Amino acid sequence: MYHIQFQKPIFVHFIGIGGISMSGLASILLKEGFRVSGSDVHASALTRQLAEQGACIHYGHSAANVSPEVKAVVYTAAVKEDNPEIQESLRLGIPLLTRAELLGQLMKNYRTAIGISGTHGKTTATSMMTHILLEANADPTVSVGGILHSIGGNIRVGGSDYFVAESCEYTNSFLSLYPTMEIILNIRADHLDFFKDLDDIRRSFRLFAEKLGPDGFLSIYGEIEQLEQFTQGLSCKIRTFGSDPDRDDYSAVHITYDPFGCASYDLTRKTEHGYDIVGSISLGVPGFHNVLNSLSVIAVALELGIPMEQIRNGLASFTGTDRRFQRKGEFRGVTVIDDYAHHPDEIEATLKAAHTYPHKKIWCVFQPHTYTRTKALMDGFARSLCLADEVVLADIYPARETDTLGISSLDLANRIQSFGTSVHYFPSFEQIEQFLSAHCAEGDLLITMGAGDIVSVGEALLERS
The full 3-state SS of 280-291, as one line of letters, equals EEEEEEECHHHH
Q: What is the C-alpha separation between 162 and 139, in angstroms, rounded?
A: 7
- Evaluate if residue 465 carries a pLDDT over 80: no
Say what the pLDDT of residue 406 is: 85
| pLDDT above 90: percentage of residues in the chain | 79
Handedness of CA 67, 71, 76, 77 (dihedral sign): positive
Q: What is the C-alpha separation between 453 and 78, in angstroms, rounded?
A: 18
- Evaluate if residue 326 carries a pLDDT over 80: yes
Q: Which sequence positions are flagged as catalytic?
A: 122-123, 166
Say what the pLDDT of residue 79 is: 86
Looking at residues 107-116, what average pLDDT do you find?
Answer: 95
Adjacent-strand bridge partners of 182: 115, 218
Range picked from 40-44, 325-329, 389-393 for highest mean pLDDT: 389-393
- Evaluate if residue 380 carries a pLDDT over 80: yes
**Chain CA centroid to CA 317, Å:** 19
| pLDDT confidence band for 147 (50 / 70 / 90) | confident
- Evaluate if residue 353 carries a pLDDT over 80: yes
Other C-beta atoms closer than 10 Å to the C-beta of 214 total 8
Q: What is the C-alpha separation between 456 and 328, in angstroms, rounded?
A: 11
- Evaluate if residue 400 carries a pLDDT over 80: no
Tens of pLDDT along 18-56?
988 899 899 999 998 999 999 998 899 899 999 999 999
Query: Which is more confidently placed, 196 or 207?
Result: 207
Looking at residues 451-461, what average pLDDT do you find?
Answer: 93
- Evaluate if residue 220 carries a pLDDT over 90: yes
- Evaluate if residue 213 carries a pLDDT over 90: yes
- Evaluate if residue 321 carries a pLDDT over 90: no
Q: Is 299 helix (H, G, I), strand (E, B) or coil?
A: helix
Looking at residues 251-277, what average pLDDT do you find?
Answer: 94
Say what the pLDDT of residue 300 is: 98
Other C-beta atoms closer than 10 Å to the C-beta of 382 total 22
| pLDDT confidence band for 405 (50 / 70 / 90) | confident
| pLDDT confidence band for 323 (50 / 70 / 90) | confident
| pLDDT confidence band for 313 (50 / 70 / 90) | very high
Mean pLDDT of the chain: 93
Please give the backbone phi and psi of residue 391, each rounded to the nearest 5 degrees, phi first.
-115, 130
Q: What is the DSSP string of 141-172?
A: EEEEEEEEGGGTEEEE--SSSEEEEE---GGG
Instruction: Please give the helix or strand (H or E) that residue 202 lies within, else none.
Output: helix 198-209
Q: How many residues does the chain have?
A: 465
